[in-house]
Amino acid sequence: MHPDFSTAIWRTSSRSSSSGGQCVEIAFVPATADWRKASRSQGNGGACVEIAVQPSVVGIRDSKDAAGPVLAVSRDAFGAFLRAIGSGRV
């Protein structure tokens, strides 16, 4: 199964050229996204994970580095990940 990023917001790399050369695009989670801390995260600065659910992607980040990198995965992939955790496969 291929992830559905059809409604994701895409940006073309600044290194891409308009002459049809090598182009890289990234899907991102908007800065206005509503981030939620995982219920298992500790309040004392321990391992904290936050997610932001968007129409076609789920953003995952380290809450201690909110300005840092964000991993964006399809909602289907994130759902499969949660089911795997729930069943003890992960």
Confidence (pLDDT) at 35: 82
Hey, CA dihedral for 35, 37, 43, 46, is it positive or negative? negative
Confidence (pLDDT) at 5: 61
Confidence (pLDDT) at 57: 82
Residues 6+ apart with CB under 8 A from 24: 12, 13, 15, 16
Q: Supply the pTM of this predicted model.
A: 0.62
Separation of alpha carbons 26 and 82, rounded Å: 24
pLDDT along the chain (90 residues), means of 10: 60 66 66 76 70 84 82 86 87
**Helix, strand or coil, per DSSP, at residue 79:** helix
Domain locations in the chain as residue ranges: 9-86
Confidence (pLDDT) at 29: 67
